[in-house]
Amino acid sequence: MAPSGQDSSSKDSSKENNQRRGGRTKAVLPVRIKAKDTAGHVFEELAITLDVTPDGVRLGSVRRELNNLEEVTVFYRQRKMQFRVVWTKKLKGTSEFQVGLQAIAQEREAWGMSFAEYKSQLAATPLAASQASGVGV
CATH code: domain of residue 98: 2.40.10.220
Can you tell me the distance from the alpha carbon of 17 to that of 114, in angstroms, rounded to the nearest whole number?
27
Look at residue 21 in the predicted model and tell me its pLDDT: 57
- Per the structure, how many domains does the chain have? 1
Residue 28 lies in a domain: yes
Residue 137 lies in a domain: no
Residue 54 lies in a domain: yes
Residue 2 lies in a domain: no
Residue 119 lies in a domain: yes
Residue 4 lies in a domain: no
Look at residue 106 in the predicted model and tell me its pLDDT: 73
- Top pLDDT among 48 and 111 is at 48
List the domain range (segments joined by +) for residue 53.
20-129
Look at residue 87 in the predicted model and tell me its pLDDT: 97
Residue 44 lies in a domain: yes
Can you tell me the distance from the alpha carbon of 4 to that of 95, in angstroms, rounded to the nearest whole number?
26
Residue 51 lies in a domain: yes
Question: Per residue, what are the HEC states of 84-134?
Answer: EEEEEEECCCCCCEEEEEEECCCCCCCCCCCCHHHHHHHHHCHHHHHHHHC
C-alpha 25, offset from chain centre: 11
